[in-house]
Amino acid sequence: MKKEIKSKQEKQEKIETLDCNDRHCPFHGSISIRGRSFKGKIIKNDLHKTVTIEFPRQFYLSKYERYAKRRSRIRAHNPECINAQIGDVVKIMETKPI
């Protein structure tokens, strides 16, 4: 568990030292992250440095008083310095609208 956290920090440091002139990048740009965060898998690589992420969520059905599984898809910005590929599991965060 501890090791995992350390490798994550190393990865982040590596990203921060890379050259990047994307103004919508959370590490090098002027944009700051706030709000909700999601974890999911990249299923599609769209144009203009955008990826589509899919993750399961619980959906409450009042008729049956039970939870059902639903999948959500969110599109996220993927700057050059992160360069995530299809199949990668990523954590994304909300920003102000870009």
Close Cβ partners of 87 (under 8 Å, ≥ 6 residues apart)? 41, 42
CB of 6 to Zn ion, least distance (A): 22
Q: Is position 77 an interface residue for Zn ion (rule: CB under 5 A)?
A: no
Query: Under DSSP, is residue 60 helix (H, G, I), strand (E, B) or coil?
Result: strand
Q: Is position 20 an interface residue for Zn ion (rule: CB under 5 A)?
A: yes
**Residue placing its CB nearer to Zn ion in the complex, 30 or 58:** 30
CB of 42 to Zn ion, least distance (A): 17
Instruction: By CB under 5 A, name the one of 51, 53, 76, 81 that touches Zn ion.
Output: 81
| 8 Å CB contact between 95 and 38 | no
CB of 24 to Zn ion, least distance (A): 9
Q: Is position 25 an interface residue for Zn ion (rule: CB under 5 A)?
A: yes
Cα(12)–Cα(5) distance, integer angstroms: 11
Q: How far is CA 52 from CA 5, 13, 74, in A?
A: 25, 25, 6
Applying CB under 5 A, the residues found at the interface with Zn ion are 20, 25, 27-28, 79, 81
